[in-house]
Amino acid sequence: MNKDAILATTIGLVLGLLISGVFIFGPNLARALPKFKFPSLALPKTSPKATPTPILKEFSLSITAPLADGIEPKKDVVVSGTTAPEATVVIQGPTDADVVIAGIDGGYAGKITASEGKNDVFVTAYAEKKQTSQNITIYYTEENF
């Protein structure tokens, strides 16, 4: 038989016996030990914390997909990201545009069609009479390489 296997079995058996011993005799041994008390530590009293003034989140817009300067595998490109909840988001591609309403969590996704070569994609979000914009460049070719 493999030496390693015998060794592993022996170690397993010993460990098993040890664990069983702890379970069987452990509680009685613990009771027999003298009682030990942890010393109590007095921590300095802290003054009550001041309530922070809530910082209003700025109206932001991010594009999470597609990646900037990436090569798109397909003509149809899904543009997604996050902005203010329920904002109106305009996604403008070189050949068409899409308008979507962001979700309660601020997530949005729309579809545009890429043209061959360089494509500048402009995303603008409108909410509460404010607007913010982001743009990215993506590339597309019909050729396989």
Partner 1 sequence: MKFTVVYILLFTALFSFGSSVFAATGTISATTQKIEDLKDRIATKVAQLKTTQRRAVYGTVKTVSITSFTVETPTRDLKIELTDDITVIQYLKGKRTTLALEDIAKGDTVVVFGQFDTTLDLLTARVVFIQGSLPEHAAGTVTGRDDKEFTLTITTPESQAFTIDIEKTTKALLWDKEKKELVKSSFSKIATGSAIHVMGQAVPKKELRISADRILDLGNL
What residue ranges bind partner 1 (CB under 8 A)?
A: 1-2, 4-6, 8-9, 69, 71, 88, 90, 92, 94, 96-97, 99, 101, 116-118, 120, 122, 124, 126, 129, 131, 133, 135, 137, 139, 141-143, 145
| Contact by Cβ (8 Å): 84, 105 | no
Nearest approach, Cβ of residue 47 and partner 1 (Å): 46
Nearest approach, Cβ of residue 19 and partner 1 (Å): 17
Nearest approach, Cβ of residue 140 and partner 1 (Å): 9
Q: Considering beta carbons, is residue 29 or 71 the nearer one to partner 1?
A: 71
Nearest approach, Cβ of residue 57 and partner 1 (Å): 19
DSSP one-letter code for 68:
T
Q: What phi and psi, each to the nearest 5 degrees, are found at residue 12? A: -60, -45
Neighbours of 112 (CB within 10 A): 23
Q: Considering beta carbons, is residue 55 or 76 the nearer one to partner 1?
A: 76
Q: Considering beta carbons, is residue 40 or 144 the nearer one to partner 1?
A: 144
Q: Considering beta carbons, is residue 51 or 144 the nearer one to partner 1?
A: 144
| Contact by Cβ (8 Å): 132, 110 | no
Question: What secondary structure does DSSP assign to 83-134, as a single string?
Answer: -STT-EEEEE-SS-EEEEE--TTSEEEEEEE--SEEEEEEEEEEETTEEEEE
